[in-house]
Amino acid sequence: MTETTAPKMEERLYQNRYLVDEGRPHIRIRQQDADSPELRALMSICPAGCYVEGADGRVEIASDGCMECGTCRIVCQATGEIEWSYPRGGYGVLFKFG
């Protein structure tokens, strides 16, 4: 019996397609004096890896690969640092395997 390994998350995410709505991101970070621990946690929590630390040490987002799961919206709900809405019709993620 041969043992099969499940595909890595990056390989699974690569199967999805994302139609970018240029100039109209569906997620924005409301910049405050300092990034909250919740916002900083998104660099580890976001399943698509959309949150990174910028050159200035602040959290930045690249929403192009967002899976629209809403994790960031929930994690930062109390801090109000995230503006989140679904992309307009025809844009956003297209899941290959549902």
| DSSP annotation string for the chain | -PPP-PPPHHHHHHHSEEE--TT--SEEE---SS--HHHHHHHHH-TT--EEE-TTSSEEE-GGG-----HHHHHTTTTT-EEE-PPPTT-EEE-TT-
How far is the first Cα of the chain from the last one, in angstroms, to the nearest whole number? 30
Would you write out the chain's pLDDT as a tens digit for each of its 98 residues?
566 777 776 676 667 677 777 888 888 999 888 999 999 999 999 988 999 999 999 999 988 878 888 899 999 999 999 998 888 777 777 766 65
Domains and CATH numbers, the chain: 26-94 (3.30.70.20)
Half-sphere exposure of 62 (CA within 13 A, CB side): 11
Output the pTM of the full model: 0.75
Q: Which of 20, 24, 23, 13 is nearest to 92 (CA)?
A: 20
